[in-house]
């Protein structure tokens, strides 16, 4: 890992950063040594996900080792913490408790890109931003859909989009019926038509904030 990173650092004038986990498994949580060695070969920042490779997404992320890396007097690069942050309150609590220079967010941003602004605003003011309106959510879905189709083509673009509707529309009552329609449509025009119906149905409704959720199967093979 150190050799590979050193080769990357040497091959570019751009700043190189690393994101990694605590270690391979419970018996090899070597992030403290890894952090020093990566800093020594010239990385400019390090993000640590508080789980091991073998853990995949099981259990809770352990931020205590991330804090230890941050507290190491030899470490001078920024240390970012990662794992399980899904609300402004948790972001503030973990930043204060573990002293990290920044936080990275994965799952909580899927279908809810507003999380970043919400957290920034809460850290700056201690107050909550208003949640996104149905218009904003539909706007984000539309944008995502069009870019997905542009990037992957009409068939795969529309198929891949199907897993995202639930997250974008989480918290709206009886949304399942619309979601079932969305995942059955095969053209952008048909999907846009359902989206218009969703917008009309829920205009003015403010859903309860529910943190992003995933079925275990969705992340089974994801080991970053
Ligand atoms: C769909 C998906 C794709 C991911 N892709 C990457 C990746 O390319 N590189 C990486 O370091 N981590 C990747 N991750 C892991 C996240 O960056 C993060 O470490 C992990 O999800 C834990 O943070 P969270 O609790 O905020 O989700 C991915 C996670 C998900 C759910």
For the domain that residue 164 is a member of, what is the CATH number?
1.10.1200
Q: Classify strands 45-52 and 17-23 as parallel, antiparallel or unpaired.
A: parallel
90 CA to centre of ligand 1 in angstroms? 18
The answer to whether position 210 is within a domain reads no
Q: Using CA positions, which residue lies closest to atom 19 of ligand 1?
A: 49
**Can you give the residue range of the structural domain that contains 171?**
134-202
Residues 78, 105 share a domain:
yes
Instruction: Round to whole Å and give the CA distance between 23 and 13.
Output: 28
- pLDDT tens across the length of the chain (224 residues): 999 999 999 999 999 999 999 999 999 999 999 999 999 999 999 999 999 999 999 999 999 999 999 999 999 999 999 999 999 999 999 999 999 999 999 999 999 999 999 999 999 999 999 999 999 999 999 999 999 999 999 999 999 999 999 999 998 999 999 999 999 999 999 999 999 999 999 998 887 765 554 443 444 444 44
Could you say which of 76, 108, 125 is where a domain stops? 125
Half-sphere exposure (Cβ direction) of 32: Cα atoms closer than 13 Å = 12
Which mutation among 106, 107, 215, 222 tests ligand 1's pocket best, with the greatest number of atoms within 8 A of CB?
106
In 3D space, the residue among 207, 219, 203, 209 whose CA is nearest the CA of residue 88 turns out to be 209
In sequence order, the 6+-apart residues with CB closer than 8 A to the CB of 51 are 21, 22, 57, 58, 59, 61, 62, 83
Q: Using CA positions, which residue lies closest to atom 22 of ligand 1?
A: 83
Q: How many domains does the chain have?
A: 2
For the domain that residue 57 is a member of, what is the CATH number?
3.20.20.70
Instruction: Round to whole Å and give the CA distance between 154 and 222.
Output: 26
* Cα maximum dimension of the chain: 58
The answer to whether position 111 is within a domain reads yes
In sequence order, the 6+-apart residues with CB closer than 8 A to the CB of 96 are none
Could you say which of 125, 154, 175 is where a domain stops? 125
The answer to whether position 219 is within a domain reads no
163 CA to centre of ligand 1 in angstroms? 16
Q: What is the pTM of this model?
A: 0.89
**What pLDDT sits at residue 185?**
97
């Amino acid at each position: 890992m150190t050799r590979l990173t050193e080769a990357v650092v040497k091959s570019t004038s751009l700043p190189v950063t690393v994101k990694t986990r605590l270690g391979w498994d419970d018996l090899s949580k070597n992030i403290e040594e890894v952090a020093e060695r990566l800093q020594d070969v010239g990385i400019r920042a390090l993000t640590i996900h508080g789980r091991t490779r073998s853990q995949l997404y099981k259990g809770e992320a352990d931020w205590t080792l991330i804090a230890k890396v941050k507290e190491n007097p030899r470490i001078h690069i920024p240390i970012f913490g990662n794992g399980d942050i899904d609300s402004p309150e948790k972001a503030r609590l973990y930043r204060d408790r573990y002293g990290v220079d920044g936080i990275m967010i994965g799952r909580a941003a899927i279908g809810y890109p507003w999380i970043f602004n919400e957290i920034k605003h809460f850290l700056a003011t201690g107050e909550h931003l208003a949640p996104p309106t149905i218009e904003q959510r539909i706007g984000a879905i539309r944008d995502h859909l069009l870019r997905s189709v542009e990037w992957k083509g009409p068939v795969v673009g529309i198929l891949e989009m199907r897993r995202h509707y639930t997250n974008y529309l989480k918290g709206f009552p009886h949304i399942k019926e619309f979601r079932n329609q969305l995942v059955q449509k095969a053209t952008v025009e048909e999907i846009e038509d359902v989206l218009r119906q969703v917008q009309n149905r829920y205009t003015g409704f403010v859903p309860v904030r529910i943190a992003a959720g995933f079925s275990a199967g969705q992340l089974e093979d994801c080991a970053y």
